[in-house]
Amino acid sequence: MIQANAFPVSYEFFPPKTPEGVEKLRAVRQQLRVRPPEFCSVTYGAGGSTQSGTFSLVQEIQQEGMSAASHFSCVGATRESVRTELRELQSMGISRLVALRGDLPSGYGLGGEFQYASDLVAFIRAEFGDAFHIEVAAYPEMHPQARSPQADLQAFAAKVQAGADSSITQYFYNADAYFRFVDSVRALGLDIPVVPGIMPITNSTQLLRFSDACGAEIPRWIRLQLQGYGDDTASIKAFGLDVVTELCERLRSQGAPSLHFYTMNQSAAVLAISERLGL
């Protein structure tokens, strides 16, 4: 049995857009080192719009002595561009990827040589063998563009069958949705880890906007409670800390393999949750 303080976690960051943001994120990573992660992932913009920022940040994290995983999307990409970019990551010593289709820009069709994340995973395996540990996305509450839960589950299965090593979920606040999804995955004979993605609650307006955009369900009781606090930031953060800590404790106690924190380039909430969990 894993001891509480040995329970693995990972962190997600996004590339800052300003020099001030770069310095702030360096400080955040230093603060989070008190709870060393299994790895840190760095997001990738639609159509590769932040590729250079992503690559420079994963390289910096790697140089700091932490394992870094680059998000890697394939919307609009060609096989040659993907091959070139993966060789660049290899030259940096990066051996972990989060392979995604990527968000479709407004008015954009399924252009490029890859239509689905499973196509990207298969290509990486064919071209690079086992050089990369490949993470893929999972959606316990269904991808917002999926035709049905069954179709979404089959899309996940295709990524696993193409060669994915493990998966990270979209964030959620309903643990039952996660456990049901894992049961459905296991029923298909798929045994890769399904790591729950955890979004700390620190800003209700931002959370509700994100959730409406990505299809993550905010349970009605949480939504109403957050709306009831209005602009009372301290109460929002205290309530969010209670809710997310209880969620993490249930996930950990009932078999989740690790926790992946969507940090939003902040450290305070993640550290507070980790402390409560005894990590």
CA atoms within 13 A on the CB side of 172: 21
Task: Please tell me the distance from the alpha carbon of residue 170 to that of residue 136, in angstroms, as a whole number.
Answer: 11
Sign of dihedral through CA atoms 239, 171, 256, 183?
Answer: positive
Helices within 95-194 (DSSP H only): 117-128, 149-162, 175-187
Marked catalytic residue, from 12, 38, 88, 127: 12
| Encoded tokens for 116 | 């689905």
Phi-psi region at 52: left, alpha or beta (left = phi > 0; alpha = psi -120 to 50): alpha
Residue closest to 201 by CA, chosen among 169, 161, 230, 242: 242
* C-alpha distance from residue 66 to each of 11, 58, 61, 63 (Å): 11, 9, 6, 7
Phi-psi region at 84: left, alpha or beta (left = phi > 0; alpha = psi -120 to 50): alpha
Report DSSP state, residue 96.
E
Residue reference for tokens 């309530």: 239
Amino acid at 82: V
* C-alpha distance from residue 278 to each of 97, 119, 177 (Å): 29, 40, 25
Known active-site residue 141? no
- Which residues form the catalytic set? 12
